[in-house]
Amino acid sequence: MSLSATSAGVSGRIDAPPAASLQVKLGRLELPNPIMVASGTFGYGREMTDYVPVGRLGAVVPKTITLLPRRGNHPWRTVETTGGLLNSIGLDNDGVEAFLEKQLPWLADCGAPVVVSIAGGSAEEFVGLAARLDGVPGIAALELNISCPNVSHGVDLASDPEMCRRVVAGVREATRLPVLAKLSPNVTSIVAIARAAADGGADAVTLVNTCLGIVVDWRRRRTMLGNGMGGLSGPAIKPIALRCVYQVAQAVDVPIVGVGGIATLDDVMEFLVTGASAVQVGTVSFTDPSVAGRLLDQLPSALAEAGVSAATDLIGSLTPPGATSAAAAPPR
Ligand SMILES: Cc1cc2nc3c(=O)[nH]c(=O)nc-3n(C[C@H](O)[C@H](O)[C@H](O)COP(=O)(O)O)c2cc1C
């Protein structure tokens, strides 16, 4: 007997289940699918076209831009660790005007929604950048990098709930674009910060940026990174990122983008089930730049295995610890 998508009633063939819908929503931002790429790990997109069908991605988030060009931190800027990567790039970028002139034209035509990541040293700088980008064709949303650990005070805006609320609210006033607030795991209560972002009007929160760490060369009695501290990413931080997604999903009514150590389809599914509406693929792109495209290709079969007809059916379907599992055996 052949499996086909034709009607079983006519030929006696078995209908293949319709492909699950991949569309997801992050507040006002609609994505064709939940597979995004993380800021700072995918360049400006153009470099990746040999490896990834960039135009099919759920969204591209290019390297964070600032109002003025930044040179970034002293080398070394990256060190491999067990199960991860420690980086201290320091938001090296050419500034917003160079981005608009040199990077956005290609991005705007790439086919995927473009979420522009912005950072500033103060709420006013974020607001100024948001105002500059408002109405610029080709931008689908803004992601506020209020959580970069590699610039002085970079993480402060994501450590204090009131400052977080203020910067998000200011940006919301300054632009009609959907706003994602990218938060730091280096806080006592991720829930308090996510709630503040939601109160400020964030369409979604991106969880998480890198975890603060250092790597030491004891023989030289020196830290390996030129800046001393850096941000840890990669598989080592996946449980931390998942925990943040879990805590926020349980407590705050705001869509979540999960990011941290995602490299396989199981990782993607874990984040969706835990409460993320979309995911970002980051550090793994440095070792295998084709991963994001592969995850996108594999997603429909995982959704079929989960027995859902839409990616949205999976979001936050995790059985709370201690409760009887309703989904112990997925329908086949
Ligand atoms: C080399 C490097 C540069 C990064 N640059 C940025 C950046 O410019 N803006 C930002 O929001 N996050 C940046 N990140 C953080 C990632 O977007 C992501 O949040 C983090 O690495 C966790 O995901 P991962 O473990 O999948 O890499 C950077 C990460 C790395 C490894």
Domain residue ranges in the chain: 23-73+89-210+233-313
Catalytic, 244? Answer no
State whether the beta carbon of 237 lies less than 6 angstroms from ligand 1.
yes
* pLDDT tens-digit series, residues 138-192: 999 999 999 887 776 666 788 999 999 999 999 999 999 999 999 999 999 999 9
Residue 3 has pLDDT above 90, yes or no: no
Q: Residues 85-96: what's their mean pLDDT?
A: 96
The CATH classification number of 23-73+89-210+233-313 equals 3.20.20.70
Atom of ligand 1 nearest to the CA of 143: 11
Distance 14 CA to ligand 1 centre (A): 45
Residue 312 has pLDDT above 60, yes or no: yes
> CA 206, CA 157: separation in Å to the nearest integer?
14
Residue 311 has pLDDT above 90, yes or no: yes
* pLDDT tens-digit series, residues 198-214: 999 999 999 999 999 99
CB 30 within 8 A of CB 204: no
> CA 26, CA 31: separation in Å to the nearest integer?
8
Q: Ligand 1: which residue has its CA nearest to atom 10? A: 39
* pLDDT tens-digit series, residues 236-260: 999 999 999 999 999 999 999 999 9
Q: How much is the pLDDT for 9?
A: 42
Q: How much is the pLDDT for 13?
A: 61
State whether the beta carbon of 172 lies less than 6 angstroms from ligand 1.
no
Residue 234 has pLDDT above 90, yes or no: yes
Higher-scoring residue by pLDDT: 224, 157: 224
> CA 5, CA 22: separation in Å to the nearest integer?
19
* pLDDT tens-digit series, residues 265-295: 999 999 999 999 999 999 999 999 999 999 9
Share of the chain above pLDDT 90, in %: 86
Neighbours of 59 (CB within 10 A): 24
Distance 31 CA to ligand 1 centre (A): 21
State whether the beta carbon of 206 lies less than 6 angstroms from ligand 1.
no
Residue 120 has pLDDT above 90, yes or no: yes
Q: Are strands 24-26 and 29-31 parallel, antiparallel or unpaired?
A: antiparallel
Q: How much is the pLDDT for 151?
A: 76
Q: Are strands 216-217 and 84-87 parallel, antiparallel or unpaired?
A: unpaired
299: enclosing H helix or E strand:
helix 291-306
* pLDDT tens-digit series, residues 32-84: 999 999 999 999 999 999 999 999 999 999 999 999 999 999 999 999 999 99
State whether the beta carbon of 182 lies less than 6 angstroms from ligand 1.
yes
Q: How much is the pLDDT for 1?
A: 32
Residue 331 has pLDDT above 50, yes or no: no
Residue 328 has pLDDT above 70, yes or no: no
> CA 151, CA 109: separation in Å to the nearest integer?
31
